[in-house]
Amino acid sequence: MNTTKYIFVTGGVSSSLGKGIIAASLAKLLQARGYRVTIQKLDPYINVDPGTLNPYEHGECYVTDDGAETDLDLGHYERFLNVSTSQANNVTTGRIYQSVIEKERRGEFLGKTVQVIPHITNEIKERIQLLGNTGDYDIIITEIGGTVGDIESLPYIESVRQLKWELGDDNALVIHLTLVPYLSAAGELKTKPTQHSVKTLMESGIRADILVCRTEHELSEELKRKLALFCNVKYEAVIQSIDASTIYDVPNMMLDEGLDTVTLQKLNLTNTNEPDLTRWNQFLQRHKNPKGKVTIGLIGKYVELQDSYKSILESFIHAGAENEVKVEVRAIHSEHIDAENIAEELSGLDGILVAPGFGERGIEGKIEAVRYARENNLPFLGICLGMQMAVIEFARNVLGLKDANSTEMNENTSHPVIDLMEDQKSITNKGGTMRLGAWKCELKENSIVEKVYNAKEISERHRHRYEYNNSYRKQLENAGMVATGINPDTGLVEIVEIPTHPWFVGVQYHPEYKSTVANPHPLFVAFVGAAHEHAKKK
Establish if 465 lies at the interface with ligand GLN (CB under 6 A): yes
Count Cβ atoms within 10 A of the Cβ of residue 340 and give its class: 0-12 exposed, 13-18 middle, 19 or more buried: exposed
Output 61 or 179, the one with its CB closest to ligand GLN.
Answer: 61
**Tally of CA atoms within 13 A in the half-sphere of 441 that contains its CB:** 27
Contact 178, 12 (CB under 8 A): yes
Output 349 or 389, the one with its CB closest to ligand GLN.
Answer: 389
- What is the rounded distance in angstroms from the CA atom of residue 459 to the CA atom of residue 441? 6
We find the least distance from the C-beta atom of residue 298 to ligand GLN, in angstroms, to be 14
Q: Helix crossing, 154-167 with 121-130: angle to 10°?
A: 60
We find the least distance from the C-beta atom of residue 168 to ligand GLN, in angstroms, to be 45
Output 466 or 504, the one with its CB closest to ligand GLN.
Answer: 466
Catalytic residue from among 510, 521, 532, 534: 510
Backbone angles phi, psi at 9, to 5 degrees: -115, 115
The pattern of x and - marking residues 466 through 485 that bind ligand GLN according to CB under 6 A reads: x-------------------
Residues 6 or more apart whose CB falls under 8 angstroms from that of 382 comprise 353, 354, 370, 388, 389, 390, 505, 506, 507
- Is 196 an active-site residue? no
Output 35 or 509, the one with its CB closest to ligand GLN.
Answer: 509
User: Helices marked H in 307-384 — which ranges?
Assistant: 310-323, 342-345, 363-375
- What is the rounded distance in angstroms from the CA atom of residue 371 to the CA atom of residue 296? 16
Output 148 or 418, the one with its CB closest to ligand GLN.
Answer: 418
| Residue 428: CB atoms within 10 Å | 5
- Please work out the total of residues on this chain that contact ligand GLN, with binding judged by CB under 6 A: 10
We find the least distance from the C-beta atom of residue 230 to ligand GLN, in angstroms, to be 48
167, 168, 171, 172: CA torsion to nearest 10: 80
Output 160 or 391, the one with its CB closest to ligand GLN.
Answer: 391
Output 346 or 436, the one with its CB closest to ligand GLN.
Answer: 436
- What is the rounded distance in angstroms from the CA atom of residue 372 to the CA atom of residue 367? 9
We find the least distance from the C-beta atom of residue 407 to ligand GLN, in angstroms, to be 10
We find the least distance from the C-beta atom of residue 385 to ligand GLN, in angstroms, to be 3
- What is the rounded distance in angstroms from the CA atom of residue 134 to the CA atom of residue 139? 12
CA atoms 257, 81, 515, 363: torsion sign: negative
Q: Please select the residue that binds ligand GLN; options are 50, 94, 146, 357, rule is CB under 6 A.
A: 357
Instruction: List binders of ligand GLN among 212-231 (CB under 6 A).
Output: none
Choices 11-19, 78-86, 352-360, 515-523 (CB under 6 A): range interacting with ligand GLN: 352-360
We find the least distance from the C-beta atom of residue 313 to ligand GLN, in angstroms, to be 16
DSSP annotation of 170 reads T
468, 472, 474, 479: CA torsion to nearest 10: -90
Q: Please select the residue that binds ligand GLN; options are 464, 514, 521, 532, rule is CB under 6 A.
A: 464
CA atoms 167, 169, 175, 181: torsion sign: positive
We find the least distance from the C-beta atom of residue 383 to ligand GLN, in angstroms, to be 7
Instruction: List binders of ligand GLN among 397-436 (CB under 6 A).
Output: 408
| Residue 6: CB atoms within 10 Å | 21
Identity of residue 267? L
**Of all residues in the chain, what percent are helix, strand and coil, respectively (each to 5)?**
40, 20, 35
Choices 123-131, 193-201, 224-232, 462-470 (CB under 6 A): range interacting with ligand GLN: 462-470
Contact 390, 354 (CB under 8 A): yes
Establish if 312 lies at the interface with ligand GLN (CB under 6 A): no
Catalytic residue from among 61, 213, 231, 384: 384
DSSP annotation of 460 reads E
Choices 12-20, 82-90, 208-216, 459-467 (CB under 6 A): range interacting with ligand GLN: 459-467
Residues 6 or more apart whose CB falls under 8 angstroms from that of 375 comprise none
Output 58 or 465, the one with its CB closest to ligand GLN.
Answer: 465
We find the least distance from the C-beta atom of residue 311 to ligand GLN, in angstroms, to be 12
Choices 93-101, 125-133, 228-236, 350-358 (CB under 6 A): range interacting with ligand GLN: 350-358
Establish if 358 lies at the interface with ligand GLN (CB under 6 A): yes
Residues 6 or more apart whose CB falls under 8 angstroms from that of 166 comprise none
We find the least distance from the C-beta atom of residue 512 to ligand GLN, in angstroms, to be 11
Instruction: List binders of ligand GLN among 372-401 (CB under 6 A).
Output: 384-385
We find the least distance from the C-beta atom of residue 464 to ligand GLN, in angstroms, to be 3
Choices 156-164, 228-236, 354-362, 368-376 (CB under 6 A): range interacting with ligand GLN: 354-362
- What is the rounded distance in angstroms from the CA atom of residue 108 to the CA atom of residue 357? 41
Catalytic residue from among 512, 521, 532, 534: 512
- Is 384 an active-site residue? yes
132, 134, 135, 141: CA torsion to nearest 10: -30
Output 359 or 488, the one with its CB closest to ligand GLN.
Answer: 359
Q: Please select the residue that binds ligand GLN; options are 19, 301, 463, 514, rule is CB under 6 A.
A: 463
Output 126 or 411, the one with its CB closest to ligand GLN.
Answer: 411
Q: Where are the beta strands (DSSP E) in 104-260?
A: 139-144, 172-179, 182-183, 188-189, 210-215, 238-242
Kindly list the residues in this chain that would bind ligand GLN in the complex (CB under 6 A): 356-358, 384-385, 408, 463-466
Catalytic center residues: 384, 510, 512
